[in-house]
Structure 1
Amino acid sequence: MSETIAAPDTSGSPPSGSGRTLRGNLGVGAIVFMVVAAAAPLGVIGGVIPLGIASGNGTGFPATFIIATAVFLLFALGFTAMTPFVDEAGAFFSYVRTSLGFPTGIGIAFVAIVTYLAIEAGVYGLLGLAGSSVVELAGGPAVPWWLVAAVAFAVTTYLGHRSIELSSRVLGVLLLAEIAIVAVLDLVIVVQGGDDGLSTGIVDPQAILSGSVGIGLLFAVISYVGFEATAIFRDEARDPERTIPRATYLSLVLIGVFYAVTTWAFVSGWGDDEAVRRATDEGATLLSDTAARYLGAFGADVITVLYFTSLFACILAFHNVVSRYVFALSRRDVLPAALSHPHHRHGSPHRASLWISAAVAASIVAAAIFGLDPAAQFYTWFAGATTVGVIVLMVATSAAVLVFFARDRRGYSVWRVRIAPALGLAGLLAALTLILVNLSDLVGGSSVLAWIIVGILLAAFGVGIAIGARSRRAEKVNA
């Protein structure tokens, strides 16, 4: 039986004045490019996958991507069911605000800003190192990481000022290039069959449950960061009630299949035992070593360049996301209202974009001045905050969906708006528990730093609730 959807509840909608709405014409493909680019496929393949194989469940690690995809699809069923009833492009905070109240929604919004700002800033550390390698590959001199980061920062700031269509085209080209080279690598490995034939770990229950399954699932979950941002482009999407759900499902399936197949191919390429050994002892070079073995020196060089562009695409995608969070909050006068006026020609949140650029610039400068290691410290610390923050955002949104549909299913099936979101919430809570238990290891072995990260996110939530409550009271007084 087909599901009928009731009309959206527009109570509490944001200001809709003609000067405070973003403009765009994004289709499903453009939004998918944005969110998949944020996941940084080559960055995950070069960094997270070796860790998952080495510290997780070894040759069974490819199957954890299938499990993670299933959990996120359960989340997405409720998330997209609520989309027609959310009247603004505020992504997670708009869903929470609609269901759990304005102050809680603003608290979640502040957590989101800290979360996405952290990953945008932190990835500059990896990008700086990768860019230095590209310069040397081209015969140039050794350059400091922060110099490469500064150049990439200038390009990102420029693109953030322009229309979203320009960013989507840039991301589309970069994403297609990195997916193409990895697809070629996977195909060559599968055709050649590897040293010991194709691995069966992806379908072998004994392999999947071997080692530390929880750690494996943790690294798989981290690899999806960014897919949940589809709804933030609501104002710039064509027919958002159709575009947003389709983009969400397609992004999830593409990410899950891509990572599962690639990880399985990498394990097959070296053989089960050798793949685990190399991931453990030589994880940092597993991607380039695999490319050199199956595609030759030229293929390895191409991978090196595309790894750099993948990180840039990730930064640009998250810059667009966090700029739109700031814009959405400023539309509600939670942040300065001046930030909520789009560019007169490009329709972009150019002032919010510059605001975010200033915060990122400050973090890069601080890292350079204090001599932080761009990967082991600058990136790792910031990525730890993002890992916790994203799962917290999704847990809050799942709870908001369940509360919203608790009394009225609004024409949806029980499975769509109650059972699936509840199962997704259970999976997300399990993932959050794993992350918190292992957070000190994720950020370099410091339990103090782990507690600082949690404290910052809690503080952001508390500040957001306080500001949201004050703004709500001010609205009522002036009404």
Structure 2
Amino acid sequence: MSVPPVSNNVDGIPGEANFETTAARPAEAPPGLRGRLGVPGLVAAVVAFASPLAGVAGYLAFVIASGNGLGAPVTVAIVGTLVLIFSVGYVKMAELVPNPGGFYAYVTAALGKAAGLGTGLLTTVGYLVGSFGFYIFGGIVASSTVRTALHGPDIPWWVYMAGFILVVSTLAYRGIDSSVRALSTVMVFEVGIVLVFDLVVTFRGGPTGRPLDSFTWHSLASGSVPMAALFGVLLFTGFEVTTLFREEVKEPVKTIRRGTYISVSLITLLFAFSAWCLITAYGTDKVVGEAQQDPTGIFATAVQSYLGSTMMTVTSVLLVTSVFASQLSLSNSVCRYLYSMGKDGVLAPALGRAHDERHSPHRAAVVLAMLHLVGLIVVLVARQSPSDIFAWSAFAVAVAILASYFLMSVAVFVFFARRRDGIATAARLLLAGIAVVGFAATLIWALLNPEAVAGQESVFNHLIPIGLLLVTVGGAGYAIYLRIRRPDVYRRIGRQ
């Protein structure tokens, strides 16, 4: 099956082949998204989404403390391999289905418009809730850092959160090029501090030398492997957004393919190596206990021990900027989902209008900022604990993203099952099947163990999955409604 060359311009403005049609048009088509992203910029957006410093200081500690302990490095490597396996079919499908819109577009192409719209809304809501929770987390971290590490004034967390929302929204409004410049700068510093720590630990060794216990079957199979796998998957959240920026990259096919593979490989190597360095820094006999006792402080303590108090302060500040970079990348992703569904008319058409000069999803950025600010006001009026809200949002993101990955892996499998064009397709089918089983198993475990994932018992642990299911089913039902009442909109679902 051959695919015609695809232009970056997917908003209905023809190229040279359609010159006569263009000349006959009475008016110009509305502006679309546009950018100059290359492979480095796309990698920066994905790696920033994964938030390397926050991942090492947060999720890795939980993999060690609540997962399979010394087996954390190998677990991360296995999860990274699973994600890379999934990426093979995902990237190839992105080449063969040249529609922007990420999961929303590709699930539509493989499983139909009802499944595509349900998945698109599920992913959008998951990212939306996740970005709100990460804003809260950023406010908490920034307030604590200024007060304790920098000995500054005691400013409430919500003030910092409001500041983050305004700055991130402004950059999202200005366009992807402005965002990538900020993301690249922050990423260099946060990855740099992690690598400096890793190299110093590797050179100096730890209380038990440079242990190889992590690479044994006994360590890998110890503790809670499903919990370790779940947090491992969350370390890679955001790798799929490469396709969301299709309209804003140079040479979409090559850039997306290289950007996805490089991003997943870098994240895998960085987190797996950092997990081993954390274990080395504390020693195989103490690291699990230390991680369980202080999971959020284990990395900072190790940095102070190996790099000194000054570098620990620098790390604390960089953690704030790391969270900011993740917020920016996450918000840009939500904006593009809102833009795509607005472009199709599924959501308010105004969301699908790009800025006349900046060619950015500016209206989606404004709406997203308003939603976050309203959410902040609700939390303050209801006097809810910000830590509790963050925990619930993290659980919601875990379920939504795992469900989206599962649905997308099914879509990849079905898409290539229909092609039947040789050994290459058979290999992609096998890889997609492995991804389906892996994501399904992790999702089922998360749904059966909500208290372990959320870190606390709450009625929301049961309401959140139900709510996400209703979003997905509601999206599918909405597509059926559009088929009956708005066939023109129905035909456009999935950026068709």
- The interval holding the TM-score normalised by the smaller chain is over 0.9
Deviation (angstroms), 1:400: 1.1
Deviations 1:98-123 (A, max 9, x none): 11111211111110111000111001
Partner of 1:16: 12
Deviations 1:202-258 (A, max 9, x none): 311111111222221121112111111111001101111111121111111111110
Partner of 1:149: 161
Deviation (angstroms), 1:72: 0.8
Q: In the alignment, is the contact (CA less than 8 A) between 1:201 and 1:208 conserved in 2?
A: no
2: CA distance, partners of 1:159 / 1:280? 38
Q: In the alignment, is the contact (CA less than 8 A) between 1:46 and 1:287 conserved in 2?
A: yes
1: CA distance, partners of 2:253 / 2:124? 24
* 1:298 corresponds to 2:310: yes
Aligned alpha-carbon RMSD (Å): 1.9
Partner of 2:439: 428
Deviations 1:157-179 (A, max 9, x none): 11111021110110011011000
Q: In the alignment, is the contact (CA less than 8 A) between 1:20 and 1:340 conserved in 2?
A: no
- Residues 232-247 of structure 1 aligned to structure 2 (within 5 Å): 232-247=244-259
1: CA distance, partners of 2:460 / 2:438? 26
Match of 1:54 among 61, 65, 81: 65
Partner of 1:367: 379
2: CA distance, partners of 1:15 / 1:468? 22
Partner of 1:325: 337
With structure 2 as the length reference, what TM-score do the two structures score?
0.91
Q: In the alignment, is the contact (CA less than 8 A) between 1:230 and 1:248 conserved in 2?
A: yes
Aligned-residue identity in percent = 32
Partner of 2:239: 227
Structure 2: give runs of 5+ residues left out of the alignment.
Answer: 14-28, 492-496
User: Structure 1 counterpart of 2:67, which letter?
Assistant: G
Structure 1: give runs of 5+ residues left out of the alignment.
Answer: none
Deviation (angstroms), 1:8: 6.0
Deviation (angstroms), 1:311: 0.6
- Residues 46-445 of structure 1 aligned to structure 2 (within 5 Å): 46-136=57-147, 137-375=149-387, 377-409=388-420, 413-445=424-456
| Shift in CA distance, 200/416, structure 1 to aligned 2, threshold 3 Å | same
2: CA distance, partners of 1:6 / 1:274? 57
Partner of 2:3: 7
2: CA distance, partners of 1:453 / 1:442? 12
With structure 1 as the length reference, what TM-score do the two structures score?
0.94
1: CA distance, partners of 2:198 / 2:214? 15
**Aligned residue pairs, count:** 472
Q: In the alignment, is the contact (CA less than 8 A) between 2:278 and 2:302 conserved in 1?
A: yes
| Shift in CA distance, 411/216, structure 1 to aligned 2, threshold 3 Å | same
Q: In the alignment, is the contact (CA less than 8 A) between 2:405 and 2:439 conserved in 1?
A: yes
| Shift in CA distance, 9/426, structure 1 to aligned 2, threshold 3 Å | farther
Deviations 1:45-84 (A, max 9, x none): 1121111111111111111001101111111111011112
User: Structure 1 counterpart of 2:48, which letter?
Assistant: A
1: CA distance, partners of 2:4 / 2:449? 41
Q: In the alignment, is the contact (CA less than 8 A) between 1:162 and 1:348 conserved in 2?
A: yes
User: Structure 2 counterpart of 1:355, which letter?
Assistant: V
| Shift in CA distance, 453/258, structure 1 to aligned 2, threshold 3 Å | same
